[in-house]
């Protein structure tokens, strides 16, 4: 006879173990005394326990929540509504894995927890073995995150960031536009300064204001009359 999960006894009374452990109270469990159930609930619950869904569920409650009585009522909700779920200590419940072997539920829970932790440990070691350089993947990821956080968020001035989707070209084009705008502003400033200096020069030379300031030729101011001829001394 194979071991049937989720069933046990409290003294001589048969129980169905709905929750092996109560959350935050590992020394307590939730059971249903099967002998006090009406036939409608009893038959549906036993059928659920013996099914593949029931035997493959870690807690019977998971399977009961997906199983129904003949009149279409969810078994778990019905048990709760009728007040049939009883909270008892795990050391009071005895399970029978085989006809000649019995174990308390608290001891069984401990064994199952150790087995689960053992499986997690084996999986963890496998991840470590398969990682590069036999390093813990979590450690590698954490180190990579620290390295990324230490990198500057923007590339140094004059360097275009590399990007697989051609973002580098966009950055370069934007840099060229900004440089062109800056040069245009500088050119406007130089032109304004050139016009100012030219105006001052024309004012000093008496050139009318209508004269174009773009004419860079400085007129020569002539004196009155013709220059006298030099005398030749014999």
Give domain status of residue 133, yes or no: no
Residues 2/44, Cβ–Cβ less than 8 Å: no
The tens digit of pLDDT for each residue in 168-178 reads 456 566 666 77
Q: pLDDT of 18-57, one tens digit each?
A: 999 998 999 999 999 999 999 999 999 999 999 999 999 9
| pLDDT-above-70 percentage for the chain | 63
Task: Tell me 218's DSSP state.
Answer: P
If one counts the domains in the chain, the total is 2
Tell me whether residue 42 is exposed, middle or buried, using C-beta atoms within 10 angstroms of its C-beta: 0 to 12, 13 to 18, 19 or more: middle
- On whether residue 94 sits in a domain, the answer given is yes
Choose from 1-15, 59-73, 129-143, 170-184 the range with maximum mean pLDDT. Answer: 59-73
pLDDT tens-digit map of 104-120: 999 989 988 888 787 77
Confidence class for position 96, pLDDT limits 50, 70, 90: confident
pLDDT digits (tens, 9 = 90+) for 181-218: 877 777 787 888 878 888 877 888 777 665 544 555 54
Q: b vs e for 205-225, b when ≥16 Cβ sit within 10 Å of the residue's Cβ?
A: eebeeeeebeeeeeeeeeeee
Q: Is residue 28 part of a domain?
A: yes
In terms of phi and psi (left: phi > 0; alpha: psi -120 to 50; beta: otherwise), the region of 158 is left
Q: Is residue 139 part of a domain?
A: no
pTM (two decimals): 0.51
One domain for residues 97 and 179: no
* pLDDT above 80 (res 72): yes
Spatial distance between the Cα atoms of 143 and 106, rounded to a whole number of angstroms: 42
Query: Cβ neighbours of residue 140 under 8 Å, at least 6 residues apart?
Result: 131, 132
Domain range enclosing 197: 157-206
The residue behind tokens 């053992």 is 118
Residue 31 inside a domain? The answer is yes
Give domain status of residue 173, yes or no: yes
Residue 40: CB atoms within 10 Å: 14
77 and 164: one domain? no
User: Which helix (H) or strand (E) covers residue 8, if one does?
Assistant: strand 7-10
The number of residues making up the chain comes to: 234
| 221 assigned to some structural domain | no
Q: Are residues 98 and 180 in the same domain?
A: no
* Residue 70 resides in a domain: yes
CA distance 54 to 67: 9
Do 44 and 60 touch, CB atoms closer than 8 A? no
């Amino acid at each position: 006879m194979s071991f049937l999960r989720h069933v046990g006894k409290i003294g001589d009374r048969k129980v169905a173990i709905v929750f092996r452990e109560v959350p935050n109270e590992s020394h307590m469990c939730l059971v249903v005394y099967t002998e006090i159930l009406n036939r409608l609930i009893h038959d549906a619950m036993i059928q659920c326990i013996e099914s593949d869904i029931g035997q493959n569920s870690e807690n019977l409650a998971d399977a009961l929540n997906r199983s129904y009585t003949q009149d279409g009522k969810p078994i778990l909700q019905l048990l709760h509504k009728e007040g049939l779920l009883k909270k008892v200590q795990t050391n009071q419940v005895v399970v029978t894995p085989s006809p000649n072997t019995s174990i308390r539920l608290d001891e069984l829970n401990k064994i199952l927890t150790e087995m689960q932790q053992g499986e997690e440990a084996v999986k963890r070691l496998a991840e470590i073995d398969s990682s590069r350089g036999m390093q813990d993947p979590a450690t590698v990821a954490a180190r990579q995150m620290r390295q990324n956080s230490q990198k500057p968020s923007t590339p140094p001035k004059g360097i275009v960031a590399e990007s697989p989707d051609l973002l580098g070209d966009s950055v370069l084009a934007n840099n060229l536009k900004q440089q062109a705008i800056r040069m245009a502003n500088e050119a406007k400033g130089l032109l304004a300064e050139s016009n100012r200096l030219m105006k001052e020069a024309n004012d000093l030379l008496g050139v009318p204001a209508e004269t174009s300031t773009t004419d860079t030729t400085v007129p020569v101011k002539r004196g009155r009359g013709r220059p006298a001829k030099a005398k030749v001394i014999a």
